[in-house]
Amino acid sequence: MKLDSTYSIDDLKKPLERFWALSGEKIRMIEQSFDTQKGAPVFTEKGIYVTRGWTEWTQGFQFGSAVLQFDATGETEFLEIGRRNTVGKMAPHLTHIGVHDHGFNNVSTYGNLLRLINEGKIEGSDWEREFYKLALKVTGAVQATRWTSIPGGGFIYSFNGPHSLFVDTIRSCRALVVSHQLGHVLQGENDKRISLIQRAIQHILSTVRYSIFYGKGRDSYDIPGRTAHEIIFNTNDGAYRCPNSQQGYTGFSTWTRGLAWAICGLGETLEILDQIPEGDYADIISKADLIKELSEAAIATSEFYLANTPTDGIPYWDTGAPNLHKLGDYLARPSDPYNEYEPVDSSAACITAQGLIRIGNWLSQSDPDRGQKYRRAGIQLAGALFSEPYLSTASDHQGLILHSIYHQPNGWDYVPQQGKVAHGESSMWGDYHARELALLLQRIANDEPYYSFLNCVPA
């Protein structure tokens, strides 16, 4: 990525206004036409959101988007959409024992609504507040039951089974963090009390130790900052076996959305550690050692992203994609979503941008030059996403950010033009995280309270 020292958050004022106007139009279209009885909206085909019954991991992004829209604009119709659908349709996600996505679905809905009450942006009765709290307590505990122990720790296993650690879940750990901060614990056999924050910290440490590489010789592809989508363990003794990938090209290349989840999850975690008493997790690791490991991981992944992304900051779907070499020196020019060989993934950029900003803000005291670099990169990346060819301006397209990729190996993404790669479509997670990015930037620009998921817990 090529950084522009003259680009600043002030340059995003008009793009943000246009972004939120388009965002509202898209939310209205989806609310009026999508039948949630058939599942959750996942990605678009020919501009229309469709479902894909793998897991219903995107429904919280649908309704959470409406809540974010209200937060940014004050338009109460979106608050009603978000609140009504959260209360009426999200309950099954609270007790869904088959997925690792609780932090996506439920913090994005119940969590955002409770946050707005705590921030004083909406009124909420005592019972409404307690309803959201109870939901958040439950979701964190349910996610924490998906547990595999390994020597020195453990992890929340993916929907693939107890052997499988997904890099994605580092960001979904916020469900456990919120539940713990609300005073909840998981109770097991014989009333054994299981600390949710300790499980969250153990999972995050397993991710940074196994899913992220540091150039220390683990294997022939140990490039500093690269990530593996999936890590495989022997469930009999908890031993590490190998890297793997579900949605990336291989376990020995970097699926860029997995890299993005790591950057975003690390940024969110680093900036909330001061709000969590060290004594709550001291049996696992000291705060100083935790910060050391997380900051090393955050810097490694951020540097890898910046070094392996085209000049505008929008990555191709995998850094090892087999046909990238046919594009020539693709890192020396802006991304090309209309090329013939490999698709870009704008959703990875949406997720990464706020992670870079959060890491940059966190580094502002200890490493101000690097912090400014990451913050500038996140802001510049937002500028690319909030303009053509990535911003969806067509009135008949339900997506907000174009050129998102879901599952390239499975061939699930719509290819509109023979001889070209999949392009021109959107994803629910990409659109939601673009809105989170826009809200974070808007609050910073307007000197409003900093946007953090943990604002749903009273200080």
pLDDT in tens, 280-338: 999 999 999 999 999 999 999 999 999 999 999 999 999 999 999 999 999 999 999 99
The crossing angle, in degrees rounded to 10, of helices 13-33 and 428-445 is 140
pLDDT value for 169: 98
* Rounded Cα gap, residues 256 and 263, in angstroms: 10
pTM score > 0.95 for this model?
yes
- Taking residues 102-119, report their average pLDDT: 98
pLDDT value for 305: 98
Radius of gyration (C-alpha) of the chain in whole angstroms? 20
Sorting pLDDT into bands at 50, 70 and 90, what band is 206?
very high
pLDDT value for 386: 98
pLDDT value for 162: 98
pLDDT value for 55: 78
Which domains can be identified in the chain, with CATH numbers? 9-456 (1.50.10.10)
pLDDT value for 115: 98
* Rounded Cα gap, residues 113 and 111, in angstroms: 5
* Rounded Cα gap, residues 34 and 58, in angstroms: 13
The encoded tokens of residue 266 equal 């690390």
* Rounded Cα gap, residues 195 and 265, in angstroms: 20
* Rounded Cα gap, residues 258 and 211, in angstroms: 10
For the cut 80, the answer to whether the pLDDT of residue 95 exceeds it is yes
pLDDT value for 146: 97
Exposed/middle/buried for residue 411 (C-beta within 10 Å: 0-12, 13-18, 19+): exposed
Per-residue pLDDT tens for 145-179? 999 999 999 999 999 999 999 999 999 999 999 99
Tokens 């592809």 belong to 221
Percent of the chain exceeding pLDDT 90 equals: 97
Exposed/middle/buried for residue 235 (C-beta within 10 Å: 0-12, 13-18, 19+): middle
Least confident of 38-42, 319-323, 390-394, 436-440: 38-42
- Taking residues 109-133, report their average pLDDT: 97
78: left (phi over 0), alpha (psi -120 to 50) or beta: alpha
For the cut 80, the answer to whether the pLDDT of residue 54 exceeds it is no
For the cut 90, the answer to whether the pLDDT of residue 56 exceeds it is no
| Mean of pLDDT over the chain | 97
Is the Cβ–Cβ distance between 86 and 63 less than 8 Å?
yes
Q: Give the residue from 445, 444, 443 showing the smallest Cα distance to 121.
A: 443
Alpha helices in 55-213 (DSSP H): 59-73, 76-89, 91-94, 102-105, 112-118, 126-144, 169-172, 174-181, 196-206
* Rounded Cα gap, residues 209 and 297, in angstroms: 9
The encoded tokens of residue 95 equal 């007790």
Percent of the chain exceeding pLDDT 70 equals: 100
Per-residue pLDDT tens for 382-407? 999 999 999 999 999 999 999 999 99
Cβ-based neighbour number of residue 92 at 10 Å: 10
For the cut 90, the answer to whether the pLDDT of residue 94 exceeds it is yes
